[in-house]
Amino acid sequence: METLEAFSTEFANIMWGMPLVVLLVGGGLFLVIYSRLLPYRHFRHSIDILKGKYDNPDDDGLITHFQALSTALSGTLGMGNIAGVAVALSMGGPGAIFWMWVTAVVGVGTKFYTCTLSIMYRGHDSLGVLQGGPMYVIREGLGKKWQPLAVLFAVSGLIGSLPMFQVNQLVQILRDVIAIPAGLATNEQHFGFDIATGILVSLTVLVVIIGRIERIGKVTSRVVPTMVIGYFIVTIILLILHIEDVPSAFALIFTDAFSGDSIAGGAIGAVIVIGVRRGAFSNEAGIGSEVLAHGAAKTNEPVREGMVAMLGPVIDTLIVCTCTALAILVTGAWQGDADGVSMTAQAFESVFPGAGIYFITVVVFFFSVTTIITLWYYGAKCLGYLIGAKYQYHYIWFYVILIIVAAVVSLEVVIGIVDGAFAMMAIPTMTATLMLAKKVNAETRRYFHTHLNEPQKGWEG
């Protein structure tokens, strides 16, 4: 196990070098400037689209705008917001949160471009079904000579869509809440509990994913908003009870972001890399998995889906992740021995004794299960692209077995494998997006002039 941990950690560290940070953050900043801040000026229009004002049942696609955003958010909201923030604090200190914010701010622009492209360049799979995703954007938008880049995304997407982090952290908190208080103290007892939990989760997920994307959209559109609102309300109550510590927590985030005093090794560069890694894991802007979800939206207007998708980083990172980070900082939980989801649970338990840990357990269960469901859909689409759509649903059986395996591997192995795969996914996604940005601008100019009677001067470039 130690060898596997060392290999996975080194793999992630190599992939997440400064060049990838520049590609994600620098590329996103370029898109923000290239768009002339348009995504940031039309949030009201995004909300109108999300509310169904422009839904047309006759449009191509499988799910509504709202269901597409809910499905995409179910793949990001969850362990990245609850456990991922704790990992960022333990590895990079409070300053890592600032760089998570940076990924979200530029991620608004990145998601507008990537998810507009997800509709502009949908393609038919081997069964003739209309599909969306970075591999189809590359194939349809850049041409067959770029096929190796599409294959790279599909292969890395198979790995990045594995439910390892979600299952691992769900099992960890259930072990803390159920197994340890019940007197299961030995490693053998913990192993048996973890396996049993993995089997239970796999059966729960199997029931939903057999219904494919339509059922996934229905489940996530109900569960995700409820969980987000509930988690947000309880976190706000926690912060109100510690209101005098909130300003100093914000100050610590900003000062630590540039001080170089991180746990990660005392270098500002290390804090930046860790913050961007965790931010990318949180909101997936530029990674490409969000393109897979939004590509299934029922719309013939690409810009509308881009406008909906850009809300993701705001909800996911700027709101939910910030709430979690402040809760951990104001309670001092980040300075203890706990890591991952246990750190977040410790923060809530310190403020709501006897109830906090159970609240986090319920939230983690629903967040992680909805994320696991969505990740299966991503992986199945990647497999279908590689070997044929008629085989993609066999991924179900491989996937449920992996859920059980993920229940017993270490957190270090999980983080290394998933982080490395996310980095590999970002390379083809951002490359294609930057190459096709000019066409997104042209489509945006047409859309706003046609539907909102708003000329977009300066969008010719």
As for how many domains the chain has, the answer is 1
Beta bridge partners of 124: 130
Going by the DSSP 8-state scheme, the letter that residue 433 receives in this structure is H
Q: Determine the number of helices (DSSP H) and then strands (DSSP E) in the chain.
A: 22, 2
- Nearest CA to 443 out of 141, 158, 143 is that of 141
Segment 126-163, tens digit of pLDDT: 888 888 889 999 999 998 899 999 999 999 998 888 88
Mean pLDDT to the nearest integer, 205-229: 66
Q: What is the C-alpha to C-alpha distance for residues 204 and 195, in angstroms, rounded to an integer?
A: 14
Going by the DSSP 8-state scheme, the letter that residue 16 receives in this structure is T
Decide if pLDDT at 250 tops 70.
yes
Q: Confirm whether 460 is domain-assigned.
A: no
Backbone phi, psi, residue 105, to 5°: -65, -50
Q: Confirm whether 408 is domain-assigned.
A: yes
Contact between residue 86 and residue 344 where contact means Cβ atoms under 8 Å apart = yes
* DSSP three-state, residue 127: coil
Classify residue 50 by burial, with Cβ atoms within 10 Å: 0-12, 13-18, 19+: buried
Calculate the average pLDDT of the chain. 82
Q: Confirm whether 457 is domain-assigned.
A: no
Q: Confirm whether 246 is domain-assigned.
A: yes
Q: What is the C-alpha to C-alpha distance for residues 298 and 282, in angstroms, rounded to an integer?
A: 25
Segment 287-343, tens digit of pLDDT: 888 788 777 777 788 888 888 888 888 888 888 889 899 999 999 998 877 777 889
| Structural domain span for residue 117 | 2-451
Comparing 59-68, 204-213, 420-429, which segment has the lowest mean pLDDT?
Answer: 59-68
Q: Confirm whether 456 is domain-assigned.
A: no
Side chain identity at residue 31, one-letter code: L
Q: Confirm whether 64 is domain-assigned.
A: yes
DSSP string, 373-394: HHHHHHHHHHHHHHH-GGGGGG
CB atoms within 10 A of CB 296: 27
| Ramachandran class of 405: left when φ > 0, alpha when ψ lies in -120 to 50, beta otherwise | alpha
Domain CATH code at residue 323: 1.20.1740.10
What integer pLDDT is reported at residue 41 of this predicted model? 84
